[in-house]
């Protein structure tokens, strides 16, 4: 609330993100309140790249297209073409000129023909749902402006250490706020504030009982959820009472048609899904959230199969995505976090091999008390894939060998045996 009040008064605030994401601090200001003095301060203490977060509808009104057709930024920062305001400015680079451009972007009367392209101000496309959907500074800037009663456009730039030019972090960032009398807040704080009054998912069964879902591992209750952002439907399989007992054993699983449905041996998705359900059944309680629409780490089924074709030619999973101009991993977990909260989860033992799977999750009132590794089911077909996940993406994957078991249907018993053995070893 203090940061929102400061934004409403036209002040700059500092917003930090999650330590597992970029672990950086940005200066943020409502575009309505952009002044030459405020922009000069930002230029002096930041990288000098002044961005303006805006909703898609506003960017479409101004005919501002994406800067590049294929965004390969790992964080998926959505830059549009840069701009300057034509009227009352000179070269566009001065703090005064940039303040005029920023206020023009926020002014509903500004039209596409009022802007020159390229320029010295960099608009960013805000993701619908804001920090509840994507826990980034782009969304935080516009959310803060809107919550402060301003037009939903926020100015932002990353704070830089003037000694070595690196991003300012930790204690140095806190001291910067003290020295300049600036309010310091976090994206997690903003998520927490928005969650107190907003919700992005609804339980489709309402307060009624969930239908039973008998599986080969045991009986689960199936809770369907619908996203208010895109109407996508997700499901949570719960064993045990709801609200759940904390800390809860949890797996948030991204949809993988090829691995989960067809049993593809190119990935470890189906293996992890089976292992998670098995472990929940062994303990007699837990939650598996199945997030749809996240095929291929968020790139979609068609793009994933195109990436497979490149992998057949020798690229690894990261190189294939990059060659296609696709992000390495664009999955989002805000919806999954809200589903867990709806089911009463507050503390979770998270089943994952990815140390950085969640960003800003603490803002949803969720605390990860333990990360539980999952077996990967190494095969001759996925050995290089697993090595890439470990070496390039930082996944916790142990015991990869150059010789892997044949886990095709003719050796189904070997498959089940390996998964049980890996699960047992990791539980010890």
Residues designated as active site? 329, 331
283: left (phi over 0), alpha (psi -120 to 50) or beta: alpha
Output the six-digit token pair for 14: 């500092």
- Pairing relationship of beta strands 13-16 and 25-30 according to DSSP bridges: antiparallel
Q: In a 3-state reduction of DSSP, which class is residue 239?
A: strand
Contacts of 265 (CB under 8 A, 6+ apart): 379, 380, 381, 382, 407, 408
Residue among 167, 104, 97, 103 nearest 137 (CA): 167
Burial class (CB in 10 A: 0-12, 13-18, 19+), 128: middle
Long-range residue pairs from 219-225, CB within 8 A, at least 24 positions apart, any chain? 220/288, 223/339, 223/343, 225/201, 225/335, 225/339, 225/342
Q: In a 3-state reduction of DSSP, which class is residue 215?
A: strand
CA 19/CA 362 separation, integer angstroms: 11
- Pairing relationship of beta strands 183-186 and 13-16 according to DSSP bridges: parallel
């Amino acid at each position: 609330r203090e940061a929102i009040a400061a934004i409403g008064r036209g002040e700059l605030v500092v917003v930090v993100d999650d330590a597992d994401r970029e672990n950086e601090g940005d200066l943020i200001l409502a575009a309505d309140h952009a002044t030459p003095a405020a922009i000069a301060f930002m230029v002096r203490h930041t990288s000098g790249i002044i961005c303006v977060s805006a909703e898609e509808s506003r960017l479409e009104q101004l005919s501002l297209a994406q800067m590049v057709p294929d965004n390969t930024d790992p964080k998926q920062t959505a830059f549009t073409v840069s701009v300057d305001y034509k009227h009352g400015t000179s070269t566009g680079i001065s703090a005064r000129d940039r303040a005029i451009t920023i206020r023009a972007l926020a002014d509903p009367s500004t039209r596409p023909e009022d802007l020159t392209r390229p320029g010295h101000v960099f608009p960013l496309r805000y993701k619908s749902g804001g920090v509840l959907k994507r826990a980034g500074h782009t969304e935080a800037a516009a959310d803060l402006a809107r919550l402060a009663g301003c037009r939903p456009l926020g100015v932002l730039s990353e704070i830089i250490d003037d000694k070595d030019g690196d991003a300012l972090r930790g204690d140095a960032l806190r001291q910067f706020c003290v020295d300049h009398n600036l309010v310091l807040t976090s994206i997690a704080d903003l998520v927490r504030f928005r969650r107190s009054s907003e919700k992005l998912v609804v339980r489709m069964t309402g307060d009624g009982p969930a239908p039973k879902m008998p599986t080969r591992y045991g009986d689960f209750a199936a809770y369907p959820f619908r996203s208010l952002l895109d109407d996508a439907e997700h499901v949570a399989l719960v064993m045990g009472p709801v609200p759940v007992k904390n800390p809860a054993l949890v797996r948030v699983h991204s949809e993988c048609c090829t691995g989960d449905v067809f049993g593809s041996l190119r990935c470890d998705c189906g293996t992890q899904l089976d292992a998670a359900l098995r472990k929940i059944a062994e303990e007699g309680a837990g939650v598996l959230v199945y997030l749809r629409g996240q095929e291929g780490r968020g790139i979609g089924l068609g793009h994933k199969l195109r990436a497979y074709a490149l992998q057949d030619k020798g690229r690894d999973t990261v190189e294939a995505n990059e060659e296609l101009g696709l992000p390495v991993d664009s999955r989002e977990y805000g919806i999954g976090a809200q589903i867990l909260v709806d089911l009463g989860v507050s503390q979770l033992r998270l089943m994952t091999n990815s140390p950085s799977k969640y960003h800003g999750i603490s803002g949803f009132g969720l605390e990860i008390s333990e990360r539980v590794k999952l077996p990967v089911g190494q095969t001759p077909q996925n050995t290089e894939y697993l090595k890439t996940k470990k070496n390039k993406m930082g996944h916790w994957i142990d015991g990869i060998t150059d010789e892997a078991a044949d886990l095709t249907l003719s050796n189904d018993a070997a498959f089940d045996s390996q998964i049980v053995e890996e699960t047992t070893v990791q539980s010890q």
